[in-house]
Structure 1
């Protein structure tokens, strides 16, 4: 089992963030990221929305730091921890845009980028950006295939149903020929998409029982990850409860987890990260990352 963190401060959904995060900023975010890096957590995250309709933000949260800017900044302040988009909305980007921008980040960070990708569900945001909402599923499938073909290639070539390109130089690009693709979603189609085109499934809005049932319908390839999120945990005050929640996620099929911790301040957050690390000392914690292609 491996553990990453849903980064505090950068995303504040109701019921999942702590009061101090409302007034927190760059310094607090860096403190948490550096601590998670030092303690051996696998990844930290940053999600994407350009603009959330106010009626939705009022009940579901509207704070989303830009993932490229945020992860680029944190890359310079960390050494080993992976930098995961959780998630990019594929319909808002051309695959070569992702390959160029996040490939550059992959080079700057020494090969630490993880691309979490999703189809998207906010119709108003699609309209705001001039993106096609109704055909987003088929376009996303083709975008993932195109991104696979383009990643790490100086002159990529691809011809699919929605995207076609050749004879364009992408420089810089990722130093790696392959990047982990984590596919988000809550439908059976998202799971099939993850198994067929990605390296992991990151479901949300599903119970452990629903996840177990859905996973029984597919035959994932070797090395495929299922990344689940337990409810907010308090390892210092409730170690037994924390273990129960983690064990329940593991029983549901998790090979990796995104954890959210309860904390009263940035210092308490760091203490909780250390307590969780100690509570699960037997887990697979990150060793120093082999830097790739930073030149």
Structure 2
């Protein structure tokens, strides 16, 4: 079991974020990232939306810092922690553009990029960007295969159902030819997509018993990761409850957890990061 953090400040969904985050900026974000890096957390995250419909933002959150800019900024302030997109919407990008942009970040960060990828669900945002909403599933499958083919290669080649490229120089590119691909979603199809094309499944909005049942019914390759999101934890005030949630999601099949912590300030957030490490020292020691 390893722990990553759903980064505060950059994404503020109702019920998960704290009031202080609304007034926070780069300095507070860096302070949290540096602490998580020092303490041995596996990754930090940044998600993606260009424009969220107001009717949805009111209940699901409307703050989304741009992941490429944000993770590039945080890469310069950290040394070990992975930089995870959680998630990029595949339909908004050409796969070769993802390989070039995030491959450059992989180069700059010393190979610390994790690509979390998703099919997307906001029809209004697809329309805004001129992307195909109805055919997004098949296009996403082809995009994942194209990213695999292009990652870390100077002259990539790919011929698929939706994308094709050859005889193009991509310089710079990632320093390695394989990047972890975490596939988001909450349907059995998303789990199959992750098992067939990715390295991990990152579901959301599902109770642990449903996740456990889906995993039990699915074929998964060796080494396949399952990254789950327990409810917000308070390891300082409620260590027993925090442990219970972690153990519950581990029992459901998690190999890694995306952690949200309850906090009143950036100082308290760092204290909570430290407290969680003390609560599960074996996880951090094993990761180190």
Q: Same fold (TM over 0.5)?
A: yes
- SS of 2:168's partner is coil
Whether contact under 8 Å (2:41, 2:284) holds in the other structure is: no
In structure 2, stretches of 5+ residues that fail to align are: none
In structure 1, stretches of 5+ residues that fail to align are: 288-295
Indicate yes or no: 2:184 matched with 1:191.
Answer: no
Rounded to whole Å, the distance in 1 between the matches of 2:229 and 2:218 is 21
Indicate yes or no: 2:100 matched with 1:109.
Answer: no
Indicate yes or no: 2:27 matched with 1:36.
Answer: no
Whether contact under 8 Å (2:277, 2:284) holds in the other structure is: no
Cross-structure match for 2:53: 53
Aligned length: 287
- SS of 1:282's partner is helix
The structural deviation recorded for 1:59 is 1.2
Per-residue deviation, residues 85-122 of structure 1 (Å, max 9, x unmatched): 00000000000000000000000000000000000000
Indicate yes or no: 2:175 matched with 1:175.
Answer: yes
Instruction: State TM-score, norm by structure 1.
Output: 0.97
Cross-structure match for 1:274: 274
- SS of 1:184's partner is strand
The structural deviation recorded for 1:284 is 3.9
The structural deviation recorded for 1:44 is 0.1
Cross-structure match for 1:99: 99
The structural deviation recorded for 1:218 is 1.2
Cross-structure match for 1:11: 11
Matches within 5 A, 1:1-295: 1-285=1-285, 286-287=287-288
The structural deviation recorded for 1:217 is 1.4
The structural deviation recorded for 1:216 is 1.1
Cross-structure match for 1:291: none
Rounded to whole Å, the distance in 1 between the matches of 2:214 and 2:170 is 39
Rounded to whole Å, the distance in 2 between the matches of 1:260 and 1:88 is 20
Instruction: State TM-score, norm by structure 2.
Output: 0.99
The structural deviation recorded for 1:58 is 1.1
Rounded to whole Å, the distance in 1 between the matches of 2:54 and 2:40 is 37
Rounded to whole Å, the distance in 1 between the matches of 2:26 and 2:283 is 30
- SS of 2:282's partner is coil
The structural deviation recorded for 1:123 is 0.1
Following TM superposition, where does structure 1 have runs of at least 4 consecutive aligned residues deviating by more than 2 angstroms?
Answer: 284-287
Whether contact under 8 Å (2:95, 2:147) holds in the other structure is: yes
Per-residue deviation, residues 59-102 of structure 1 (Å, max 9, x unmatched): 11100000000000000000000000000000000000000000
